[in-house]
Amino acid sequence: MNALQRDLKKLVPLVESLGAEKVESDPHRQRFHVQPTVGWLNDPNGLCRIGDTYHVFYQYGPFDATGGVKHWGHVTSRDLMHWEHQPVMLYPDEPFDCHGVYSGSAIVEDGTMYLYYTGNVKHPGDYDYIKQGRGHNVCLATSRDGIHLDSKQCLLYNKDYPTGLTCHVRDPKVFACDGRYYMVLGARTVEDRGEVLVWESADKLHWTCINTLTTPEPFGFMWECPDLFELDGRWFLAVSPQGIECQNVYGCGYFPVYGDWRGACTLGEFRHADFGFDYYAPQSFADGDRRVQIGWMGMPDADYTNPVDFGWQHCLTVPRQLTRDGDRLLQNPVAELAALRGTAHDLPDGETVSAAPCFDLLAAPAGNFTLTVADGVQLAYCEAERSCTLYFTNAAMAYGRTSRHVVLDAPCRRLRVVGDASSLEVFLNDGAAVLSTRYYPAPGPATLCLTGCCGTLYEITL
Ligand code: FRU
């Protein structure tokens, strides 16, 4: 252990314990979503299961609720709903990761965790830090018990990447396939085009770049947090592209992959993963037969924000199971959420019902409907246009959020809304379209009013 790691290992728990009381007194503290102990959170990292324990890591800035140098925070769970905080796994404490232990992924072999991540290094000097001055290194950390770090090393430096790229090459997602290991890396070319590099390895340590995945026409300047996985016989490439036209400042979605991504292949039509305000950088993992995906319920560089007076900011989404419908992905909360359903309330058409702040609402609309939550957020569906709009009617709850919409492929016949103390996740038509947002209602029970149809509201009890 080096001296910096030794000191950070003392400092982070100290900062966490000093801030805990204030953080826990926040009425908007989430109940079943992953959130930082104190400070800042962004992308989910290193998702995996070992035995019956799920491990979720996240981009963590313990010293500053508005950002800071990134660590890997760590939580574990048996049911993807109750989360236990663990000590930080990765600190920015080596020359190859000293300005941030950036996003990455996990593979598990014989009980050992292999954590691949980007070591971010900003060299001192007058640089733009895009084309010059930045190291984005592929690093590998290992842990035999899933809690303590055993080793850390740098596997690839910028000099090892193909030519024609800027310094922005990051977010390794590693997986095993056909007896070999593969890694996808997000990249920004010197022409400011986003793409994904595909790497291959026989031993998890030595990597060769074997392919580049991109669109024939430019599609944004950078593709962050790639994920490549097979679902029900079709491969999908998920990315968070920056510099595309969409409702949010950055996009987040997926392409179906036609052909073999190791060689000749093309990317199909890009689809947005989520139409709300707060969704970015998702990562998935294979959990037995199911594929589970978790996103960051936030958006970098957005012009709306979140309160930080209690010393923390941001959370992850509820874990969602992905299923395939042709070239589309459906997202639905994992079954474990329904197991937490407690008291059920009828939601008669037009009547306001008040319930616990954590809820799971189900309805089967047959035409236009409106759902009002906490007298400050509305979801309005227009059957003629098949459009669903999520908008804030109370600015005090919005922190700058205005409205977002989605046009559905089919009439809306299924509505599910998952509420936690400060988030709403709307699932339409069994996960064909999703809208996620943070919101900041007055403390106390949530009030819900559905007009145009009736529904059932289950309180979530933890
Ligand atoms: C996405 C991202 C990643 C990077 C990480 C740094 O939100 O920018 O590309 O690894 O966040 O925190």
Q: What is the pLDDT of residues 280-311, one digit of tens each?
A: 999 999 999 999 999 999 999 999 999 999 99
User: Strands 312-313 and 39-50, how do they pair?
Assistant: parallel
Q: Indicate the SS3 state at residue 54.
A: strand
CA 152 to chain centroid, in Å, comes to 25
Query: Catalytic residue numbers?
Result: 43
Residue 128 backbone phi and psi in degrees, to 5: -85, -10
End-to-end CA distance of the chain: 38
Cα gap 274→330, rounded to integer Å: 11
What integer pLDDT is reported at residue 356 of this predicted model? 84
Pairing of strands 312-313, 290-296: unpaired
Which atom of ligand 1 has the smallest separation from the CA of 171? Answer: 10
Beta pairing, strands 234-242 & 253-259 = antiparallel
The alpha carbon of 414 and the centre of ligand 1 are apart by a number of angstroms equal to 34
pLDDT digits (tens, 9 = 90+) for 259-276: 999 999 999 999 999 999
DSSP state of 274: -
CATH number of the domain located at residue range(s) 339-460 in this protein: 2.60.120.560
Same CATH fold assignment for domains 3-333 and 339-460: no
φ, ψ dihedrals at 156, nearest 5°: -140, 135
Specify the residue with its C-alpha closest to ligand 1, atom 8: 224
Closest ligand 1 atom, residue 118 Cα: 10
Structural domain boundaries of the chain?
3-333, 339-460
Over residues 158-207, the pLDDT tens digits come to: 999 999 999 999 999 999 999 999 999 999 999 999 999 999 999 999 99
Distance 171 CA to ligand 1 centre (A): 7
The Cβ of residue 17 has, within 10 Å, a number of other Cβ atoms equal to: 11
Which residues have any ligand 1 atom within 6 Å of their CB? 42-43, 59, 70, 102-103, 118, 170-171, 224-225, 280-281, 300
Query: pTM score, two decimals?
Result: 0.98
- CB contact at 8 A, 103 and 111: no
The HSE-up count of residue 123 (CA atoms within 13 Å, CB side) is 15
419: phi then psi, degrees, rounded to nearest 5? -115, 135
Distance 43 CA to ligand 1 centre (A): 7
Ligand 1 atom 12 nearest Cα = 102
Q: Cα of 148 to ligand 1 centre, how many Å?
A: 23
In eight-state DSSP terms, residue 29 is -
Dist CA 48 CA 130 (whole Å): 31
Name the nearest CA neighbour of 51 among 108, 128, 4: 108
In this predicted model, what pLDDT tens digit does every residue of 4-60 receive, in sequence order? 999 999 999 999 999 999 999 999 999 999 999 999 999 999 999 999 999 999 999
Distance 6 CA to ligand 1 centre (A): 25
The sign of the dihedral angle between the CA atoms of 60, 442, 388, 359 is: positive
The dihedral of CA 71, 76, 82, 85: what is its sign? negative
CATH class of 3-333: mainly beta
CA-closest candidate to residue 146, choices 237, 212, 72, 71: 72
pLDDT tens digits for 412-440?
999 999 999 999 999 999 999 999 999 99
Pocket test for ligand 1, best of 60, 101, 134, 171 (most atoms within 8 A of CB): 171
The number of the ligand 1 atom at minimal distance from the alpha carbon of 70 is 12
Q: Which of 41, 99, 102 for a ligand 1 pocket mutation test, highest count of atoms within 8 Å of Cβ?
A: 102
Per-residue confidence (pLDDT) for residue 404, from 0 to 100: 98
Atom of ligand 1 nearest to the CA of 186: 9
Considering only CA atoms, which residue is closest to atom 6 of ligand 1? 102
Whether 194 and 188 have beta carbons less than 8 Å apart is answered as yes
DSSP bridge partners of 239: 253
